[in-house]
Amino acid sequence: MTRGKGTTMSHAIPDLMSVNLLRIFNERNHRRRAAAIRAMYAKDCFFADAIESVAGWDGVHDKVDRLHAAYPGFVFQPSGRAVAHHGLACQRWRFGPPDACDAITGIDVAIFEKGFIKALYVFVDRGPGASLAR
C-alpha cells in the first residue's frame, strides 16, 4: 500500500474504507499513521464531522490525535461491508472500548479521486456528537 509516482492503491475502494478505520483511525503510532495517511489520502484531502473540518494530511493526523485524547482506549470496528460506486463509498462503524465497541456508531462517506480519499464526511448516529448533526 505504498504511494509512488504513477502508482495507485492496490485495494478496491470498499476495502479501503475498513483499512481507513483500522490503519489510520485506530493507529496510535504516529509514524505508522502518517505513512498510512499519505498512502490513502490525497495531499489536499478534506475531513468533516459535526464538530469540525480539517484539510490536508496533517489535518487528518491531528484530528485522529484529538480523537484518541478524547476517547483513550476506544477502537473502531467496521460494521458490515462498505459499499461504493462512481468514486463514492460508505462504511458503517462502531467505536468504543474493545469489549463494548458500540458506544458510538456512525457512517463514513468518502469521495475517492485517482484511488485516494479526497474527502471524508463522518456522521455520528449514536453517542456523543449525534445530536450535533440534527
Predicted model pTM: 0.86
At 91-115, the pLDDT tens digits run: 999 999 998 877 899 999 999 999 9
- Mean per-residue pLDDT of the chain: 88
Distance CA 62, CA 85 (A): 29
At 37-78, the pLDDT tens digits run: 999 999 999 999 999 999 999 999 999 999 999 999 999 999
State the average pLDDT over residues 2-22. Answer: 70
- The per-residue pLDDT for 134 is 39
Q: Where are the domains of the chain?
A: 13-133
Distance CA 64, CA 28 (A): 9
Per-residue pLDDT at 128 exceeds 70: no
- The per-residue pLDDT for 73 is 94
If one looks up domain 13-133 in CATH, what number appears?
Answer: 3.10.450.50
State the average pLDDT over residues 120-134. Answer: 74
